[in-house]
Amino acid sequence: MAEKIMTEWVGKTIQFPDDLRFSVYGKDTSYSAHNTPYRILFYSDSMGCTSCKLKLSSWKQIIAEVDSTNLADKVSFIFCFQPKNKKNLIFELRGDRFRFPVIIDESESFNKANKLPVNSVYQCFLLDNENKVLLVGNPTINPKIWDLFKQLITGKISDKQSSNTSIEIEQRVIQLANVKVGEKQELIFNLKNTGKTPLIVIDVKTSCGCTLAEWEKQPVGSGLSTQIKARIKIDQPGYFCKSLLVYCNSKQSPLTLLIKGIVK
């Protein structure tokens, strides 16, 4: 799912209908997000628990971090909410003292113009100054996403690198057989840089603590290969499926690697 979303959305241009207006607690306000080289767009639809999805306190922390660092003149925020009930949304905003300007899109014009992913995990984007998608992911759900956003914004990874490098994976799924309870397993995933710019593996996030990952921290040149080494130890019998999310400067980031098997 993650790779499909990245492939589909990185490079797309987000459309902002003319009827959208910024407001604070429902009252129109003047705000421009178009004077910075990068923008973080967070959209939330009307599905599910509003307070759980918005994570306003986490966004306030991210905004405070930006305002207190050299990121302040490089990135702005666009919050676009499509509420079931406008009054309830304003109540949530007031309750969290979230005074940052937001778009309340009761007509659903923003989603209709862009046809955003249904999964809320992928309804947050890092955009360039032309509203082109550079990265997809919600930093309030996964702090590693915020690290990745910052690295691109500060120039540690260029936007050209983030979109142009491609990767060939020898084996995305490793199937294990005859695994014993408590037995340690070491596995290797081979990745080849088939793009024109160096491959940089920024982080590898595992699905749980029983899986550890190691990787080369140095850039991998065009045409060269690198390895993601995984160690697992399963303490319960039965079927298992462990995942590794590889965050890197590739259109498909994060890459999903799987380890499956049955423990006897």
In CATH, what number is assigned to the domain containing residue 26? 3.40.30.10
The sign of the CA dihedral 167, 173, 176, 181 is: positive
Say if residue 97 is in the same domain as residue 178. no
- In which domain, by residue range, is 205 found? 167-263
Q: pTM value?
A: 0.61
Say if residue 139 is in the same domain as residue 227. no
Q: What is the pLDDT of residues 201-255, one digit of tens each?
A: 877 888 777 888 888 877 788 899 999 999 988 888 888 888 888 888 777 778 8
Say if residue 253 is in the same domain as residue 123. no
Say how far apart CA 250 and CA 254 lie, in whole Å: 8
Say if residue 144 is in the same domain as residue 18. yes
Residue 38 confidence (pLDDT): 93
Cβ atoms < 10 Å from Cβ of 222: 14
Residue 46 confidence (pLDDT): 65
Give the residue-averaged pLDDT of 257-264. 87
Say how far apart CA 50 and CA 23 lie, in whole Å: 18
Q: What is the pLDDT of residues 7-40, one digit of tens each?
A: 788 889 999 999 899 999 989 898 887 789 999 9
Say if residue 216 is in the same domain as residue 118. no
Say how far apart CA 144 and CA 139 lie, in whole Å: 7
Say if residue 150 is in the same domain as residue 173. no
- 239 in a structural domain: yes
Residue 161 confidence (pLDDT): 45
Of the listed ranges 48-57, 193-202, 232-241, 252-261, the one predicted with least confidence: 48-57
Band (49; pLDDT cuts 50, 70, 90): low
Tokens representing residue 174 in the block: 């490793």
